[in-house]
Structure formats: structure tokens, C-alpha cells
Amino acid sequence: MKKSISILLAVVLILALAACGSGTPAATAAPAAAAPAAESAAQTVYTVGICNFVDDASLNQIIANIRAQLDALGTDEVRFEVLEDNCNLDANVMNQIITNFMAQKVDLMVGVATPVAMGMQAATEESGIPVVFAAVSDPLGAGLVDSLEAPGANITGTSDFLDTTAVMNLIFAADPDADLIGLLYNVGEDSSAAPIAAAKAYLDAKGIAYVERTGTTVDEVMLAAEALVTDGVDAVFTPTDNTIMTAELAIYETFAEAGIPHFTGADSFALNGAFLGYGVDYANLGVETANMIAEILLEGKDPGTVPVKTFDNGTATVNTDICAALGLDYDEIAATFAPFCTQVQPITTAESFDDLA
């Protein structure tokens, strides 16, 4: 009996030792699982901080294309990590976002629209963090760059400069008898200063009267739009003004119901209900902005020596919904505008470009 017990205890001991032994390989298997982490550690990650000025179709389209292009430029060796925020027209929030980017030690900042670019330029003057701006209409006039060919300091970017004369030509191509033009813009936006001045000079030269209405909020812009209807204007011109862009969905019916075409400086206005948007392709602007980011971070280029990129402003985007509401035939309008544009293209009313997909 004792012998049987001894044998049984020996078997239990052998099994226990075997169980302990079987656990040893599992404990030593961890380094093999950690191998992928070692591979990813070899990948260089560049952190890009993007601050948007306001949530609107134009600027959102730019950021979406910056992100997509940076993803496309990534490789097994290099990856771009994007930190994105939106100050929604608030200077205090914008400054805090920039401060946060600096605390997070981003490798490069992207300022979407003039106020953000100016804020980033001022904040990075001592640190020298590269800044790439996007959709700055007049970088020279805003004092961001020394010249378009050689920006200087730590900044460069893309400009959505508007050919105001081209837009004005379209107004009178559509209605040669127009004799009162409305100018709708935010007087505080740098992007509107030069094109509004150019529009006034154009109209003065033709002896055409104009009336100015301005707004700094959506509510103010709505009141300004109603005032232009009361003024009896034949057409309304708005440049690449982010405040009016933000309000376009709230005012387009006011103009359409009054039979007043709204001519604007970007296709995103037409997307949101303006009769016509004339200007740069913001999707392409976003792609080219990302390419400039890559030149600086991957190729080591000094942003101050990278020329500001400008674009052909030859595309007229006509909203076919509004065209019909104004009693106009799209094909006839397209034929009328063709001699003044490199391209005329249709669009329908939507909140964002994604909604058209």
C-alpha cells in the first residue's frame, strides 16, 4: 500500500514538473511577438499640425486632400501623423491651438486661410518651426512673404488668388444691361480686401454703380443679403470670403427667389447655392499643399526658398439648380461663359462635396 502511494506521488510530481516545463516556452515567446514593434520603430514619423480657420466647404475640401495626399506619400520608412483642429473664427482659440501644436513638438504647421497663417508665422518666429499656409488669397499684401518666388523666413504655401476681372466679365456676359452690382463681403477679411478694391476699380471704369453690404456673422450676412434685394441690385459679387462662404447655405434662396445671380470666388459657393463660383480647384490646392509639406520634411528644403504656389483661375462652376430657379438655361449660359473661361462645369446644391458622391 505504501509502495502504491509512493508511486502515485511520483507520478503527480512528474506531471507537475511537466506542467511547469510546458509554461516555459510560452514565457519566452514574447520577444517574437514584439518583432513587428521593432520594425515600426524604424519608421520615421513626421507630425503635422493643421489649424482650420472655419468649418466651410472650401477649407474642409483642402484639408481632406492634404490628408489624403500625405497618406499617399507615406511609405514603409516614412509616415505622416496629422493633428487637426478648427478655431471657428475665434482668435483666442486659434492661438491656443498653435500653442498646443508647439507643446506637442510638431515638425510642421499648416495654417488654412490668412488669419491662421499669420498667427502661426508670429508664433514660430523664434522656434523656426516650418509653416505652410493654404488658401491665402494675398500673401504679399498680408505681409506673410517677402515675395512669391522667395517667401523668406520659415514660411511658404499655396495661394487661391482670385482674378476679379474674370468674374466681373462673367457678370456682364450674363447680363450686359446690369447697372447696379452688389458687393457682399466681410470688411475684416484679408482675403476680400484686394478683390473688392479690384471690383470697385473695374465698375468705376465702366461707369457702373455698386452698393456694398457687409457682415461678420451669419445673421449679419443674412441681413446684408436681404438689404441687397431691397437695393434692387442686378447681380452680387463675393470674393473668396470665408464669412460669406459659411453663410451661403443661409442666403442662397434669398437671392434665387429675388432673381439675383450670386457670382463668387470659389466652386464651394456654387456647391452651397450661389449661381456661380469661379476660381481655383481647392482639391488640387490641397494636394499641392501636401506636396510642399513633403518637400520640406522629406527633402529638407528651406520653406523660405520654396516659391508660393498659385493656380489657374479659369474654371467657372455653375449651379444648375439655381440656374433653373433664375429662369436660365444651363447650356446657353455655359456657351455664353465659355469664351471667358478655360472650363465651365455644372454642380448641384449640397452641403459638402462628399454629398455629391
Mean pLDDT of 215-226: 98
Q: Give the pLDDT score at 339.
A: 95
What backbone torsions phi and psi does residue 40 show, to the nearest 5 degrees? -70, -30
Residue 26 has pLDDT above 80, yes or no: no
For 198, the 3-state DSSP assignment is: helix
Q: For 1-16, how does the pLDDT look when each residue is reduced to its tens digit (9 = 90+)?
A: 433 434 333 433 333 3
Q: What is the pLDDT of residue 20?
A: 39
The arithmetic mean of pLDDT across residues 242-271, rounded, is 96
Give the least confident one: 21-25, 190-194, 327-331.
21-25
Residue from 34, 14, 12 nearest 22 by CA:
14
Q: For residues 101 and 286, is the Cβ–Cβ distance under 8 A?
A: no
pLDDT per residue as tens digits for the range 95-136: 999 999 999 999 999 999 999 999 999 999 999 999 999 999
pLDDT for position 314: 86
pLDDT class of 355 with cuts at 50, 70, 90: confident
Joined grid coordinates for residue 307: 516659391
Percent of the chain surpassing pLDDT 90: 82
Lowest pLDDT segment from 26-30, 214-218, 283-287:
26-30
Which domains are present in the chain? Answer: 43-160+282-305 (3.40.50.2300), 164-279+314-356 (3.40.50.2300)
pTM for the model stands at 0.80
Q: Is 226 exposed, middle or buried (0-12, 13-18, 19+ CB in 10 A)?
A: middle
Residue 190 banded pLDDT, cuts 50, 70, 90: confident
Quickly state the pLDDT bin for 41 (edges 50, 70, 90): low
Compute the mean pLDDT over every residue in the chain, rounded to the nearest whole number.
89
Q: What is the mean pLDDT of residues 52-60?
A: 92
E strand segments, 117-231: 131-134, 155-157, 180-185, 209-214
d(CA 99, CA 8): 72
CB atoms under 10 Å from CB of 179, counted, come to 12
pLDDT of residue 38: 44
Exposed, middle or buried by CB within 10 Å (0-12, 13-18, 19+), for 99?
exposed
- pLDDT tens, position by position, 81-102: 999 999 999 999 999 999 999 9
Q: Distance between CA atoms of 88 and 78, rounded to whole angstroms?
A: 32
Q: Residues 287-321: pLDDT tens digits?
A: 999 999 999 999 999 999 999 999 877 899 999 99
